[in-house]
Structure 1
Amino acid sequence: MKNCLVVDDSKVIRKVARHILETLNFTVDEAEDGREALNRIEASVPDVVLLDWNMPVMSGMEFLRTLRQQKLGSQPKVVFCTTENDAAHIRAAIDAGADEYVMKPFDRETLESKLQIVGVV
């Protein structure tokens, strides 16, 4: 079974994402910010990270840059999940190492399609 780390400061978004991911047969872990997410990844590297952009403590971009510099056995796929939808934000995320990008609010079909694109579904 594939696993996903949902990183978002919104409990509601984490709950919605967890529900969708579990229907897609993922095990799900959650983190409220980038720092907590890095700690979780040190313990166990997920197959994919669903990542919010704007968070306290450590933003999604800071997390992504730090993650991509770490020497892990394998790098997880990263799907940015945010309301930031202009071309500059999308380009910056991809340049920093994101594998895909999904806009909030999202539904099961949209998320499933993005996960298929990155090869985890």
Structure 2
Amino acid sequence: MKGRRILLAEDEDGIALALDYLLSRAGYEVARVADGQTALAALEETPPDLVILDVMLPGKTGYEICQDIRGKRDLGALKILMMTARGGEVERRKGLALGADAFLAKPFATADLLAQIRALLGGEVDA
């Protein structure tokens, strides 16, 4: 959906650049941060419609950020999509138990990512 804001919390530059390009091209407004502390500050400063959280972030993990988000009343409606290279069932269950709305294991197909975002935010994606 055009104009929706996404905060991308990803520390690997190659992945972040590719996702930024993909999401921007699909019509989303994307802001990127590379560590957990900066992610929390960005969420408080300008809350997005969706945050895409890598589990393994420096400073504060995606799990910790997810838990922090769910503990704040003003961010309660924020949609959270977690992703990790550790794609096991235990990681997925942990993320969902902490409040993530969806979970993707890396590597993933870009079509799967866009479908997850569309499901979370509603509307069509220009893929």
Structure-2-length-normalised TM-score:
0.88
- Between the aligned partners of 1:32 and 1:111, the Cα distance in structure 2 is 19
Tell me which stretches of 4 or more aligned residues in structure 1 moved more than 3 Å. Answer: none
Q: 1:71 aligns with which of 67, 70, 73?
A: 73
The answer to whether the 8 A contact 2:87-2:106 is kept is no
The answer to whether the 8 A contact 2:50-2:121 is kept is no
- Between the aligned partners of 2:21 and 2:52, the Cα distance in structure 1 is 13
Which residue of the partner structure matches residue 81 of structure 1?
83
Q: 2:39 aligns with which of 37, 40, 43?
A: 37
Shift of 1:55: 1.4
Shift of 1:81: 1.4
Shift of 1:106: 2.7
**RMSD (CA atoms):** 1.4
Question: What percent identity do the matched residue pairs reach?
Answer: 24
- Between the aligned partners of 2:87 and 2:7, the Cα distance in structure 1 is 22
Shift of 1:74: 5.1
2:120 is equivalent to residue 118 of structure 1: yes
- Between the aligned partners of 2:37 and 2:77, the Cα distance in structure 1 is 17
- Between the aligned partners of 1:74 and 1:94, the Cα distance in structure 2 is 15
Matched ranges for 1:44-59 at <5 A: 44-59=46-61
Shift of 1:41: 0.9
Question: Which digits, 9 at most, give the CA deviation of each residue in 1:59-95, with x for residues without a partner?
Answer: 1001111111112165321111111211111111001
Tell me how many residue pairs correspond in the alignment.
121
- Between the aligned partners of 2:86 and 2:22, the Cα distance in structure 1 is 21
